[in-house]
Amino acid sequence: MFLGFDDVYSFIGFITSILYNLIPLAFIYQLKSGVLKNERISIIGLLSLYCNCFLYFFVSVFQYVRKDQSVNPMDFCNLIGAYLGFVYLILYIYYVYCKEDRKKARISIISLIVSSIAFFFLVAFTIGEENNFWSYFFKYLGVIFNILQNLPLGFNIIYLLKNKISEKYTLFGAFFGLLNTVTWFIWAFQAVFLDKNNNDKPYQSLVANLIAICINITQFFLFFKYRKEEDDDTGTNLENNLTPSNNENINNGLINTNNASAGQNEKTEESDIIDEFM
């Protein structure tokens, strides 16, 4: 036992999950401020965060209830995630749809509430004391959401890939997502291979977090790749604009000064990437 948790890995996983669940606050703030363009945003990551935490918490809770056991403290990170995920979805719907299409916003919110209640009762009446079909169904359904929640939270990954856009706000989710998934991968690894007393091996968590680790690392790779391409394009365009034609007489000293200033600005912009992220 470690501070009421099964082991230190469970405690660290609890903390990193909470940190990751708080990341969408930055996205919601940027959305509220009008910084983000609608074509760059997506509800998939936020919805997956909510569904993942909702399913895993209530499946675990009803299994504990059937066995007349107390809830594992580690599972409360999913309760917090489910609550925050619900709030994020409401705010997303409000800022994206409410001002332009109130009817669509109301239908979306009502659908979210009705679906949540329906799933709650479905889980409550199907989960047994021992693992059954529904237990495995919900756990493996949760794996899908567990992976998808590591897409850029709130961002349209297809749009970013298609247009080769380096969206700096995705780094917040990628950093804390990587921290969270690595922690849970270690927890799942030791539960599967090192804990001989654990009969319920979390293979699904092992696989899901391994895939999620790759997704988060890929986000870092794509960001710096696209940012470098954007900087190269900017430098090329600037150089072309400064190249004199045969019919133009441009002072050589002015050209050299402009080139030096442009190079300095490029270096300053590149050095600001990490500062902006931190």
Q: CA–CA separation, 186 vs 275, rounded Å?
A: 30
Whether residue 214 sits in one domain with residue 266:
no
Between CA 15 and CA 197 the distance in angstroms is: 25
As a whole number of angstroms, the distance between CA 129 and CA 120 comes to 17
- Any idea which residue has 């993942």 for tokens? 52
Are residues 187 and 262 both part of a single domain?
no
Q: What is the pLDDT of residues 17-45, one digit of tens each?
A: 999 999 999 999 999 998 888 889 999 99
In a domain, 17, yes or no: yes
- Packing angle, helices 203-242 and 252-277, rounded to 10: 160
Same domain assignment for residues 205 and 258: no
What is the per-residue pLDDT for 227? 93
What's the structural domain count of the chain? 2
- For 198-213, the pLDDT digits (tens) are 777 888 899 999 999 9
Residues 183 and 269 grouped into a single domain: no
Domain extent, residue 130, equals 8-228
Q: Which of 11, 256, 45, 234 shows the shortest CA–CA distance to 155?
A: 45
Phi, psi at 37, each rounded to 5° = -85, 145
Residue 250 — pLDDT band, cuts 50, 70, 90? Answer: very low
pTM of the model: 0.83
CA 239 – CA 135 distance, rounded (Å): 62
The confidence score (pLDDT) of residue 244 equals 55
Q: Is 90 exceeded by the pLDDT of residue 239?
A: no
Q: Is the dihedral of CA 184, 188, 194, 198 positive or negative?
A: positive
For 138, other C-beta atoms within 10 Å of its C-beta total 20
Sequence letter at residue 218: T
Asked whether residue 233 is domain-assigned, the answer is: no
Residue 182 and residue 251 in one domain? no
Residues 30 and 113 in one domain: yes
Per-residue model confidence as pLDDT tens digits over 261-278: 544 454 444 445 444 444
Q: Are residue 217 and residue 262 in the same domain, yes or no?
A: no
DSSP letter at 23 equals T
Residues 186 and 261 in one domain: no
The pLDDT mean for the chain works out to 85
Same domain? For 90 and 219 the reply is yes
Interatomic CA distance for residues 228 and 268, integer angstroms: 13
* H/E element, 117: helix 102-126
**pLDDT at position 94 over 50:** yes
Q: Is 210 found in the same domain as 76?
A: yes
Alpha carbon distance 59, 200 (integer Å): 14
